[in-house]
Chain A
Amino acid sequence: MVCALVLALAGEAHAQGLARVRAQGELRWAGDLQGGEPYVYRDPRDPSKLIGFEVEIARALARRLSLREQFIQNDWKNLLPSLARGDFDLAMNGLEDTPQLRASALATRPYCAFTEQLVVRKGAKARTLAELSGKRVGTLASSQAHELLRTLPQIETVLYEGQEEPYFDLAQGRLDAVLLDSVIASRYGLNKPELELATADVAHGTYVIAVRPGEADLRDALDGALAAMEAEGELLRILTRWGLTAPAQAPRASAEDQAAPPTERTRLDAAQGMLFLRGAAITLFVSLLAMALAVPFGLLLALLRLYGNAPLRLLSQAYIEAFRGTPVLLQLYLLYYGLAPLIHLSALTAAILGLGLNYAAYEAEVHRAALSALPIGQSEAAAALGLTRWQALRLVLLPQALRTALPAMTNDLISLLKDSSLVSVITVVELTKQMTITAVDVRSWVLPGLLCALLYFAMSYPLSLLAQRLEAKLAGVPEAALAGPPPGSAR
């Protein structure tokens, strides 16, 4: 809705495009260096320089428009929203000519053609999309291949954010195939010895440059420059040098076909609502199991740190510091991708394990604080009654410490619920990931965002109430007992 409004307003402020760019004197174009070779990336021999076929095209375009050229780094997923915000003049970074793109931006004529290629492990039986029914196929979120796979619900689609990871998982056996464009497939998939091409031309498409709606004159100027590059053979020279294919001629016709707004715009309907509920269920599932792992493991770490011998104490402390001192995102990557050659974990297992191991470090500190806060008289009384250290812990100290720790643990569970959104980097589609997917589909962040927030709130608020009640209970009757009378310290 808001997007549509913005588009309408931008449409009103027509004709600013080319004049604005000329006034600023430079062509500001955006891409994501993380996309890497061959698009736009840092020269390995001189990291201060950018190279790539898109760099060369951008320079040629700028030259032909008598402008300087300026690259703007932008997260690939957010190229179009950032374009709409006015962060740069155009986005050129392997953007496929899809209805989604044309719904939120103007597209130039294509500058590169590709085919969608299906890559499998060597000798795999299922080698076509039809044969992959019921199997797992990886692709990049919001890509044309993703669009294509969405029309095939019998295939389980696994979404990635980088082009390296799907082929890695395919080689590891976590996927049965990867569907991505030929530019990516040749550089990231087919160079792996254990992978091979199954279907070379599942579909084909083109890369286009995206320009803000309402800056049609800039789009037309870029089209003119691209047409001249094609006519003079400059585009073909660039593409050939990078081993790429030039777009077929007469691309305008197909562009006109697609220029009409897509008829099937996704709505935020009951089906999308069910997907959200599913995402929420996965969020809850991952969070609860991770916490169920973190609490006992954290307790073990706390006990080792408090009562273990010197090496065990050191080990426990090292674990706690290492897991608290590094980002959980990094730990998830290492667990899922880094350890893959050694331990084969499913995405869900890795998510639960990763969050659980991370939170164990925090729970260890919660347990340790609760145990340390117990009056010394409690362990002395236990010892004086002949209880062994382990009995004292089990019968006297832990039951009290766990009560003290319960509010803190409940609060940590609320944090965990939100931190669980990080597991989308290892392909788990939980609530936040579902929100971003839906937001792209319905072309609005407002309603999906609100729905997502509502669901998080519905999960965390009861926990928050529980924590408050537990704290009130602790602050009430039992606290007087925990604090005890003035400690008998006379010696």
Chain B
Amino acid sequence: MSDPLVRVIQLQKSHGGRPVLRGIDAEVRKGETIALVGPSGGGKSTFLRCLNGLTPFDAGSVHVAGHDLLPGTPPDDRSLVSLRVRVGMVFQGFNLFPHLTALQNVSLAPVHVQGEPAAEAERRARELLARVGLADRAGALPAQLSGGQQQRVAIARALALRPELTLFDEPTSALDPEMRGEVLTVLRDLAAAGQTMLVVTHEMGFARAVAHRVWVFDEGKLVEDGPPSEVCDRPRSERARAFFNAAR
């Protein structure tokens, strides 16, 4: 199918009268891994959150995994449930449920949202935990896990619904440098397995090595869109050049 998984046309969003996104046009195809980079406040996280409805937008057209989102939809609207089953999300702060074990965190949505039998959901949750290297920590509570381990559980949780698209909002920013590696390794494996991913990140090495395309956001605009070698080494816009020089 040539139909893109994500198609965004003229997406606009302002917050408290200040424009955050000023007309974004973008497309994502199945199997692509895209790194969203750029200076803080450029709008990349907001863009990501518009794609699964966590942040309502003001105007424009947002088509994600067969769903057309409407402007102004509240984040807990029932109409968004079927979209979220197909779009996973991993947060900077992990946001694991502290009263549930790693296994329960992962199997919660399959059981309660998709109605999967508990035994089957648990079996798959164990598989997913094994995939992120945490087979032996299934019974641990989040508080008993390191930051890197928590984020890997959060990734397993996001994958449990077999999403067509997974959104990563600065997945390594809250981690110590030594723990970033273990999370980035998981992301690399997922990309290699063909998982469609949008990753907001400051890890330029990761963007270069793993992403198929790099998007540079600045002042609410998507200013660069291309393969990493092109965007990182020969940026066309002045702003992107300044950003990559500073990041080096």
- Seen from chain A, the residues whose Cβ lies within 8 Å of a Cβ on chain B are 375, 377-389, 391-392, 395-396, 399-400, 403, 477-478, 480-482, 484-488, 490-491
Contacts and interface: CB of A to CB of B under 8 A. Distances in A.
A485 B170 CA distance: 13
A478 B54 contact: no
Interface string B123-152: 000000000000000000111100100100
Given A384-B88, A387-B112, 8 more contacts: A377-B91, A381-B89, A383-B80, A395-B112, A399-B99, A481-B98, A484-B95, A485-B150
Contact of B54 (A384, A389, A399, A481): A384
B89 A384 contact: yes
A491 B95 contact: no
Given A480-B143, A488-B92, A491-B45, A400 B109 contact: no
Contact of A377 (B43, B55, B95, B147): B95
Contact of A486 (B88, B93, B158): B93
Interface footprint category on B: 35 or more
Contacts of B96: 381, 481
Contacts of B247: none
B43 to A, nearest CB: 8
Interface string B62-100: 000000000000011010111011001101111111110
A488 B142 contact: no
B143 A486 contact: no
B91 A380 contact: yes
Contacts of B80: 383
B97 A381 contact: yes
B6 interface: no
A385 B157 contact: yes
Contact of B84 (A386, A400, A480, A490): A386
Nearest to B104: A395
A380 B98 contact: no
Contacts of A486: 93, 174
6 contacts: A375-B95, A477-B143, A478-B98, A481-B141, A485-B174, A491-B43
Contacts of A480: 143
Contact of A485 (B15, B144, B147, B169): B147
B177 to A, nearest CB: 15
B141 A487 contact: no
A387 B100 CA distance: 16
A481 B141 CA distance: 9
Given A478-B98, A481-B98, A485-B150, A385 B76 contact: no
Nearest to A477: B143
B196 interface: no
B170 A385 contact: no
Contact of A484 (B20, B93, B109): B93
A352 to B, nearest CB: 31
